[in-house]
């Protein structure tokens, strides 16, 4: 697996210092599970940060997001949800790496996918920290996601299949940071459904009137 799109250094640094909230931390931690390069980068930042923090007065970053993530790893998995709406083939390795699989209590094929409209499905990921909205999205192979822009930040991590937009192609492990300057029309690659983890801190802003009208109904 070759990963071409990684989180920014700013995000990795915030993660390493514990400054990120739970939803953002989950996206980074799940990317790290797939990306040795970023694991090394974060380990280096933590080493540097340890020395730095001892020489500087404590800053008000004190969020226990990382502790919450780690605690969830130890938590009992939930009961498997009802039957999935479509069969997801099982490969040699799980579609959902840890810590994400622990949050959801199973792999992609074990989950109760909810119809999102336009052929797409979602599974909300429950967070203790409600400042972000976290969900798994499943976009049918070869189909577009409605064009949208963002009021806030949106992090997307591809876990299966691929999508592409004007900024490039994103496959398993690839990570996209989108802010309110990006208006894009992601399109799932043909072949297999695209499953990705999406973390947002504000509702998406759809360009088409129809999409805007159905948006409240879909909860996206």
Q: How far is the CB of 138 from Zn ion (least distance, A)?
A: 23
Q: How far is the CB of 176 from Zn ion (least distance, A)?
A: 12
According to CB under 5 A, which residues from 153 to 182 bind Zn ion?
Answer: none
Tell me the H-state helices in 17-163: 22-34, 36-55, 65-74, 100-104
Q: Does 6 bind Zn ion (CB under 5 A)?
A: yes
Q: How far is the CB of 97 from Zn ion (least distance, A)?
A: 13
According to CB under 5 A, which residues from 25 to 84 bind Zn ion?
Answer: 35, 38
Radius of gyration, CA atoms only, the chain: 17
Of 34 and 123, nearer to Zn ion (C-beta) is 34
- Pair of tokens at residue 39: 């694991």
Q: How far is the CB of 26 from Zn ion (least distance, A)?
A: 15
Q: How far is the CB of 56 from Zn ion (least distance, A)?
A: 27
Q: How far is the CB of 5 from Zn ion (least distance, A)?
A: 8
Q: Give CA separation, 150 vs 37, 87, 153, 204, 217, in Å.
A: 28, 32, 7, 5, 18
Q: Does 95 bind Zn ion (CB under 5 A)?
A: no
Of 3 and 69, nearer to Zn ion (C-beta) is 3
Q: Give CA separation, 207 vs 37, 54, 119, 128, 215, in Å.
A: 36, 48, 19, 31, 11
Sign of CA dihedral 111, 133, 31, 44: negative
Of 26 and 35, nearer to Zn ion (C-beta) is 35
Interface size with Zn ion, residues (CB under 5 A):
3
Of 35 and 158, nearer to Zn ion (C-beta) is 35
Contact stretch for Zn ion (CB under 5 A) within 6-14, 164-172, 176-184, 196-204: 6-14
Of 41 and 127, nearer to Zn ion (C-beta) is 41
Of 69 and 120, nearer to Zn ion (C-beta) is 69
Which long-range contacts link 216-219 to residues 24+ away (Cβ below 8 Å)? 217/117, 218/116, 218/117
Sign of CA dihedral 147, 149, 150, 156: positive
- Residues forming the site for Zn ion (CB under 5 A): 6, 35, 38
């Amino acid at each position: 697996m070759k990963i071409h799109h990684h989180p920014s250094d700013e995000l990795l640094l915030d993660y390493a210092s514990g400054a990120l909230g739970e939803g953002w931390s989950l996206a980074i931690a799940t990317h790290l599970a797939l990306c040795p390069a970023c694991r090394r980068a974060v380990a280096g930042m933590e080493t540097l940060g340890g020395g730095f923090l001892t020489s500087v007065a404590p800053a008000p970053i004190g969020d226990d997001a990382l502790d919450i993530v780690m605690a969830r790893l130890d938590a009992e998995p939930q009961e498997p949800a009802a039957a999935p709406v479509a069969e997801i083939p099982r490969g040699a390795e799980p579609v959902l790496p840890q810590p994400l699989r622990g949050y959801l209590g199973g792999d992609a094929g074990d989950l109760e996918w909810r119809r999102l409209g336009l052929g797409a499905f979602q599974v909300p990921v429950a967070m203790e920290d409600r400042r972000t909205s976290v969900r798994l999205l499943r976009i049918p192979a070869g189909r577009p996601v409605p064009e949208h822009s963002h009021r806030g930040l949106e992090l997307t991590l591809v876990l299966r299949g691929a999508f592409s937009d004007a900024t490039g192609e994103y496959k398993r492990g690839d990570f996209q940071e989108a802010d309110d300057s990006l208006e894009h029309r992601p399109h799932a690659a043909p072949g297999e459904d695209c499953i990705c983890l999406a973390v947002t801190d504000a509702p998406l802003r759809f360009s088409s009137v129809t999409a805007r009208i159905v948006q409240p109904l879909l909860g996206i």
